[in-house]
Each structure stands twice: as structure tokens, then as C-alpha cells.
Structure 1
Amino acid sequence: MSRVLLIEDDDSVRRAVELGLRRQGHEVRTAMTGEDGLLRMVSFRPDVLVLDLMLPGMAGLDVCRRVRETDQLPIIIVTAKGDDVDVVVGLEAGADDYVVKPVRARVLDARIRAVLRRADAPVPAGAAPRVESHGSLSIDRTGLAVARHGEPVLLAPSELRLLLTLSASPGQVFSRQQLLEAVWEHSYHGDIRLVDACVKRLRAKLGESRTEPRCVETVRGFGYRFRPA
């Protein structure tokens, strides 16, 4: 049973989502504000955070950024339908996935279970060596750890799985849809913004940029590939 912290200020939405998740077998705690949610994180220590972006006081985006400063806890943001800008900004702030209102418990349950699978077992180690070196970047596939210039790089579950997926086949071009299926387990024609936002966050943490990629390279019109140093 997973532990879910739900931060949502709308009473009816909060109660409906909480009830639906409990019926799906999750242990749920709730908060109405971002400030209260951050406090509850300390005492409850959830496995996943479900976060509404539109909150009174501290905005959901600020909560997401605050959590990401010190924690790689999986985060799923909740947005109003059609808020495309909020989706992109939320993903770039560190969210692993998103759902739109009205929230359907079964959809949210599926997303929760998917992000937790990514956190628990990002990519099978297989026959890959324990530690790979790519210039200043080292990847420990067994220990699921990444370092740059010998310093640990803290990656969210989606970022880690994306890096492991790309680096497992250096030089191979992955389409965004292939990465959606491999990393987010979205087998349908999913939202490629998840991929692009995650690549942007990953590059930033690896000290790269879109104009100066060293490992994660854009193949215009196709997708991404890992370019070994």
C-alpha cells in the first residue's frame, strides 16, 4: 500500500480524490495549503505527492520547487483542463507527471503506480556493467546513482529512468513516443511535453543546455539520443 499526500484546497475535489484513492488501496493524508502540505510531508513521509497547482498562499509551483530542492519524491501535479502553460511550467519545476480535472481516481491511481514503479526499479540492470563512465559523468546502473565530476547528481525518478534508458543504447535515436512508453509507461499517443520538460531538467542537472549538449542530444525531427563522451 502506498502513502499519498494530497494537497488540494477545494473541499469537494479533495474529498472525492481522497475517497477514490482509498478505495484503490492507498493510504492518504490531505492538506489544504502548500504550507500545511510541507509540514505534513515531514510527519507523514509520503511515497508520492499529488499537488494541485492552484493553491491559496504558497502556490503549487512553489511547493514543487521547494520539494525538489532537497527531495526526489515522485510528484504528480493536478491542473485545470486546458491550462497548457501551467502543465509545462509544472513539469519544468520538477513534476514527474500530471492529471487534469475532473480527476478520475482510476487514472490517478494508474499514474501513481507508474511513478512508484519508476522510483523502485527505473531500468533493469541486465548485463550492463555496474558503473559506466562517460567523460565526467558516471552512471551506476546497479546502485541507481549518477555522479558528475565525482559529485552525486540527485535525479527525480523520471529523470533517472530517462538517462538510464538513453544511455543503455548510446547513439540510438529514441522518438518521444518511444520514451513515453519506456519511461512513463504511456502506451497510447501521449503528451510529448513530459519528455521535453524532463530532458530540459536532466540537462540542467548534468550541466548541459540545449545549445551545448554533451550527452543528451536532440535529433531534430526525430527525438533524442545519448552521445557518449
Structure 2
Amino acid sequence: MHGFIGEFFGTMILILLGCGSCASNSLKKTYGQNSGWLFICLSWGMAVTMGVYVAGMLGSLGHLNPAVTIPFAIFGLFPWSQVVPYVLGQFLGGFLGAVLVIIQFYPHFKESKSEEEGNSVGIFATRPAIANPVFNFISEVVATFAFVYILLNLGNFTTGLKPFIVGMLIMVVGTCLGTTTGFALNPARDWAPRFAYTIIPVPNKSVAEWGYAWVPMLGPIVGGLIACGLYTIA
């Protein structure tokens, strides 16, 4: 249960802060409207840092990401018995974090009448800058490979200042590689908030774009598998 609880609350914090930054940047009449890509990357990096700290305190390893948990288990770096609790905690925590963002910004969703006014699924889930499924998939594979491979070389990343380093890693992946697809890197980070946006009555909401959702689901897992495979044979 410690793994489930840690991943649940850690991922909840990750999504609450990360998607909160996207809402602040996109929705009308927030003080953070149009703050820009660097603001979003820095915010997501710090969101991951705080999520890892919370998860570690509550007894998990701070994965917060099926693209970490599943490849780690496949290559013997994590026990299979913990995969279901970890992944379940990640998706449920991500869903709750997105619901809290909807509540927090509810008046601003009402003010933002259309996608052109910033009210879109992009607050909660990733979208490609240029829609090209093959290259969008490759972008997620490459970005997640870089993230997980560097992560593997940090050891236990829940201790000391390592969560801060993980946050800086997220930020640099976002600024250097994330401008093509919005750097999902994490199926739970994308699918759980996307599902919340789909079923919760968000004012003036647009479509959830599930036709693209296979990219942020499969691309990160493949990138994580390549990183873990290279790590184990190197």
C-alpha cells in the first residue's frame, strides 16, 4: 500500500501543479496568461520535484510514471509485484489532480468561451505542434529515452536534492525536445487528465482528441524500454 499511496499523492501533486501552470498560461483573466513555454517547462519541472518529494515521504520510489515503472520491471530493476499498485496510483492520482485544476480554475474556464480563447484539452493533455503521427511518436520516444536514461544514472532519486535534479531534467527535456509534442513523457500524465477533461463538465470545453492519445501512451513506454535496455547491457 505504501507504493500505491505514494504514487497516488505524488502524481496528484504533479498534475495539480503542472496542469495548473497550463491553465494559468492559457485561460482568460488569470495573472499568468500568456506566460510562455519557459514558464510551462519550469513549472512542470518543479511540479515533478514536489511530486517526487511527496511520493518518497509516503513510501514509494517516486516513479509517478508508467513509462518508468513498467520498463524498470521488464528489465529487472523493479519488482513485478509492485507494478499494478504503482500504475494504478499514478492514473488515479493524475485524475484527481486534474479534477482539482478544473475546480481551481472553474471561473476562468467559464470566461474562456472557446479553444481560440485558450479553453482546450491542451491544458490537460499533450498535442503536437505539427500533426504527423509517425514523427510525433518518434519525438515522444526520443524525449522519454533521454529522460529515463538520465534518470537511471541518478540512483535513488527521492533523497536529498535529487528530486530537484529530476525537476531540472524535466525542464531541460521540455525546452530542448518538448516543443514538438508538448513532451508527455508519461502516459498517466496525459491519459488521466485527458479522461478527466472528457467526463467532467468543464465549461465551454472542446474535444479531448483521443485520436492522438495513443502517441503519449505508447511513445513514452517505448522510450523507457530502450533506455532501460541500454542501461542494463552497458
What TM bracket, shorter-length normalisation?
A: under 0.3
Tell me: higher relative CO, structure 1 or 2? Use CA pairs within 8 A at least 6 residues apart: 2
Higher strand share: 1
TM-score (norm 1): 0.26
TM-score (norm 2): 0.25
